[in-house]
Structure 1
Amino acid sequence: MLRSALAAFGLLLAATPAFAVTFDANDQGQIEFTMPSGNVGCIYTPAGGTDVYEPMGGGPELSCDRVEPAYVRIMMGPAGIPKRYNDVGDASCCGSNNVFGYGEVWKHDGFRCTSSGTGLICKRGGHGFSMSRKAVKVY
């Protein structure tokens, strides 16, 4: 009986729609957010970049860093498979006040990210990546 109730509760949670969230951009048009765990943080940079940074290909760009168990950065541009960097010289993750809560979805400029207790998934077009403590995958 308890097993049936837990299974039904799991199905209910899986069927619950995600909550859309927006974050304000800074004066350069960048948007930062951090997962509740504090282990993953992302920064969106608009097309054309900022006064001090221009994304490869002109942007827009989404860059997400995972701190533990090993520091990894994924950068996703306007097209193509995201790029994974295992040797990051400017590690600076996860200082944003914008918390991207579990069960939330962020959509901006063709990017779509979903936050869950098992990690972060971001997509643009037919490509994307997933990032968690257990694994980092690009596709």
Structure 2
Amino acid sequence: MFARTLSAAMLSTLAWLAPAHAGSQTIPANAEGQVEFNTPSGNIGCIYTPKGGTSTYQPQDGGPELSCSRVEPSYITVILGPKGPATQIKNPGEQGCCGDVAKLAYGNSWSKGSFSCQSSKKGLSCTGSNGHGFFVSKAKVTVK
């Protein structure tokens, strides 16, 4: 009964004040088609590179590619391409993870091309349309 007495403007305001529900999150690509995001903790950061790469980066197999890095407790990078299982690199050398980019909120998912990721307080789980994927958290990294 209470909701029936609220005006449309009041309902709109209440919807805006309510916490966002978990769901699909859109993260815009840069001019060359790359998408960067971090988990809210800032410990995991990912870069999606489209097929064909960019002017400064070409995926090894031509792409598309999803590369995610974990900072702590040790720096690890996981790369998922269009074919085959994900590759885990335990000491990638280059450690540029987790700058000031969009955050994939806990409970939300992101997808682009053949890749999708789900962020949770337990970690980040990503899969490709080929069925391969990975899970990254502070406690562990698994690839399939």
Is there any run of 5+ residues in structure 2 with no aligned partner, and where?
Answer: 1-20
Give the structure 2 partner of residue 12 of structure 1.
none
Distance in 2 (CA, whole Å) between partners of 1:96 and 1:19 is: 22
The AA in structure 2 aligned to 1:36 is: P
Q: CA deviation at 1:18?
A: 4.3
Matching of residues 112-131 of structure 1 within 5 Å: 112-124=116-128, 125-131=130-136
1:78 is the counterpart of 2:82: yes
TM-score by length of 1: 0.86
Residue 32 of structure 1 contacts residue 96 of structure 1 at CA under 8 Å; is this kept in 2? no
The range that moved more, 94-103 or 63-72, is 94-103
Q: Deviations over 1:103-137 (max 9, x none)?
A: 00001101010000000000002110000011000
Q: Give the aligned CA root-mean-square deviation in angstroms.
A: 1.1
The ranges of structure 1 where at least 4 consecutive aligned residues each deviate by more than 6 angstroms after the TM superposition are none
Which of 22, 25, 29 pairs up with 2:33?
Answer: 29
Is there any run of 5+ residues in structure 1 with no aligned partner, and where?
Answer: 1-16
Q: Which has the larger radius of gyration?
A: 2
Which of 130, 134, 138 pairs up with 1:133?
Answer: 138
Q: CA deviation at 1:97?
A: 2.2
SS at match of 2:24: strand
Q: May I ask how many residue pairs the two structures share in their alignment?
A: 123
Residue 61 of structure 1 contacts residue 76 of structure 1 at CA under 8 Å; is this kept in 2? yes
Matching of residues 1-139 of structure 1 within 5 Å: 18-124=22-128, 125-139=130-144
Q: Deviations over 1:61-88 (max 9, x none)?
A: 0000000000000000011100000111
SS at match of 1:25: coil
Q: CA deviation at 1:96?
A: 3.6
Distance in 2 (CA, whole Å) between partners of 1:68 and 1:51 is: 30
SS at match of 2:105: coil
TM-score by length of 2: 0.83
